[in-house]
Structure 1
């Protein structure tokens, strides 16, 4: 329904080509590119970076067929219009954009009151915020001078930087609070011996990559094991809708992906029909799209279960938080060699902790532990994944 103007890639008056990316707009989940509808000139930018716009708002005007330096009559007209406007508002339009003027109005300021640091002396939002903070600090300096005199002096650089939260980060915060407040979340743990899978990867990784054109990682095994466990424990693949329990007869698994903008969970669909090679290719594509900000809304929506792999960042153990309306999330962690007792003897084995967070309203302890033990058994004996036993 609405979005935030993230980045303008062209300026007003620049020549543009058809399908050229003009501006990025950021929604709660994805970054969308707005492209030029035809060859021409970006005649006007109606909303600056940082503005919130509705779905039907006009954010800029492209004049089809125009050229950046070929519209002299229009430029003369625009000059006369801008000069007449400047008489009314004292040249404010020349030194401040619409969003900045609106911010100035909220604080009862004029552009001439603020020192502009932008191109050509233009006043930016940061300039206004800095000016307002300076005013408030000067007003409070007298009242706080006595307190400051009694406090010890602090040396060194103690500057602060304040930046607004992105829409994605705001949405993540809302979802995390929703999961905390609306679910009866509990976490159960187990550990697995990763040596069988590591031996299998070492033996077949080269021929696997030659055959399928993708690297043989761990995520393919994780997704395969989780899919098989979901078949055996349908409550873990279900969700609560009001007073009803919705059982899903398909297997769409969300994969947590870290991006420069924050953590997102794109969906790998119909995993029961995919081979390990298909899963590895799908996960790689989602990770690349997430990194480049190319994920679509369809790729972000849905999902019945989530896998998050904090082990890639070195996490040894954690309690993952639910991804509503899903009922469970599986956390994979760092593989670390530990001394384990095997048949009465101590062996050094590559071990990994598993953590399953689940909604206790729908999943009981018996089901959660059974699900986690099934994942453990399948990963510790990967041949069972192939034989479906």
Structure 2
């Protein structure tokens, strides 16, 4: 008897995903609820767990394939597989690479020492926080290879080595705040043996911390929870995700190989007879610079703007039918998927033209009306919310908008967005529907005067021509600055969006 592995529900506004990677292979044994593979949608990555324990007998959807909700991904049969043997193989291969590097002749003596400094971070950014090191003292690096990650108010920036050589020292520690031009590290030009130098042990305490991380990506939330429950650290787990990210499956594999935590901690935490013991179980983590800036700006927006939210709902039938009819042809011609964001972006541009106050901002005692349309698209990441900007959206085609937004989403998850890509927005769109939100009141992205909140699509009964019909409906929310936008203008703006989405031909005719 076999159990099918199928694409789970991804949120009512998401109908398909791309297979990013499989954590298991055919013939591997799995336990119930163990992550098997990762799916990528336009906005988030989703781990698919095993519906039952057994052995993977078939994988039908390969990495890179696009699959719809409910599609078959693979089969799980009864019996034990060979996951232990396969898990040992990559480990053995990884071990075999180190001696090969060690056998190479070391030529690090006598090279020029070059400083690695904080690069220019944008005209309005003068300092950054040291996030994490990708290398440690004694490691060899190639020219332009990233050695440290810096966090600014907006983005994470990877700083590369200016030359090929060996890292001689780090001049800063993780968590330090440093200015533009400050020296981060010193690299001695010339080839070096990373494995050979590593045998010296961590040369400094500053360089020991990066070695505990399995990669330059934070562990997945499910993996963090699993590590906390098991009492183990990321240094005991080998990450197999993108850029070395630790996944839940990696934690399970590490536990199967004998990784253990402090057995004394769990019983002590469970007893917790007093408030003092509760405090001992708390974890205090400094807020990242990005998170601090997000918190400050959101609160500033609430304190400064006369913020108000108005709502409407929209029938998504016409857009969904149009998308279903043309999505395959669209993707074949343009090389990108046809999503809902292009429709809403175009609808917003038309509405902003009709109601220019929503595209304006206050500057001192002046109102500045923007005769251009730079749409900010809110993207959630592990490190917080970022809002890259689709510039001159009125001049872009549907395909151009979809390509730009999907590129933003991919690079935001990898921390590769540039500062200039998140500046100059005149209006923002945020889609809580991908996370299942039915309704919300978005907070303004100051100094903008309006933000549109999209939500999940839900089948609801509505009255149409005197008859009750079941239609795919979405609630829309417009938060606006009442100092700039009157209530009539806000309601008119949402009505224009509703009209354009329910009759998308208006977008083509500019009505």
Which TM-score bucket, shorter chain as reference?
Answer: 0.7 to 0.9
CA distances 1:299-344 after superposition (whole Å, capped 9, x unpaired): 0111000000001110000000000000000000110011111111
Q: Note if contact 1:47-1:99 (Cα within 8 Å) is conserved in structure 2.
A: no
Counterpart Cα distance in 2 of 1:196 and 1:364: 30
User: Which residue number corresponds to residue 355 of structure 2?
Assistant: 233
Residues 174-323 of structure 1: pairs in structure 2 closer than 5 A = 174-323=296-445
Whether contact under 8 Å (2:174, 2:206) holds in the other structure is no
Match of 2:164 among 35, 39, 42: 39
Decide whether the 8 Å contact of 1:4 with 1:52 is kept in 2.
yes
Residue 40 and residue 97 in structure 1: after superposition, are their counterparts in 2 closer, same or farther (change >3 A)? Answer: closer
Aligned position for 1:330: 452
Q: Matched residues in 2 for 1:65 and 1:183: separation?
A: 56
Q: Which has the higher helix share?
A: 1
TM-score (norm 1): 0.78
The yes-or-no answer on 1:61 pairing with 2:183 is no
2:45 match = none
Match of 1:25?
150
Q: Which has the higher contact order (CA 8 A, sep 6+)?
A: 1
Query: 1:365 and 2:490 equivalent?
Result: no
1:16 to 134, 137, 141: 141
Distance in 2 (CA, whole Å) between partners of 1:168 and 1:331 is 22
Pick the structure with greater CA Rg. Answer: 1
Tell me if the contact between 2:150 and 2:159 (Cα under 8 Å) persists in the aligned partners. yes
1:348 lines up with 2:475 in the alignment: no
User: Which runs of no fewer than 5 residues in structure 2 stay unpaired?
Assistant: 1-125, 210-232, 236-271
Q: Give the whole-Å Cα distance in 2 for the aligned partners of 1:47 and 1:276.
A: 46
8 Å contact from structure 1 (residues 267, 302) kept in 2: yes
Q: String of CA shifts for 1:257-302, please: whole Å, max 9, x gaps.
A: 0111111100000001011111111100011110110000010111
TM superposition shift of 1:152: 11
Q: Deviation per CA, 1:79-125: give whole Å up to 9, x if none.
A: 9xxxxxxxxxxxxx97755999xxxxxxxxxxxxxxxx9x9xxxxxx
TM-score normalised over the length of structure 2: 0.60
Cα displacement (A) at 1:65? 2.3
TM-superposition CA deviations, 1:114-138 (whole Å, max 9, x none):
xxx9x9xxxxxxxxxxxxxxxxxxx
Q: Secondary structure at the match of 1:346?
A: strand
Listed as ranges, the gaps of 5+ residues in structure 1 are 73-78, 80-92, 101-116, 120-147
* Contact 2:441 2:479 survives alignment (8 Å): yes
**Residue number in structure 2 paired with 1:113:** none
Contact 2:136–2:208 (CA under 8 A) maintained in structure 1: no
Rounded to whole Å, the distance in 2 between the matches of 1:176 and 1:152 is: 32
Shift of 1:59: 1.0
**CA-based RMSD:** 2.8
Residues 1:48 and 2:170 aligned together: no
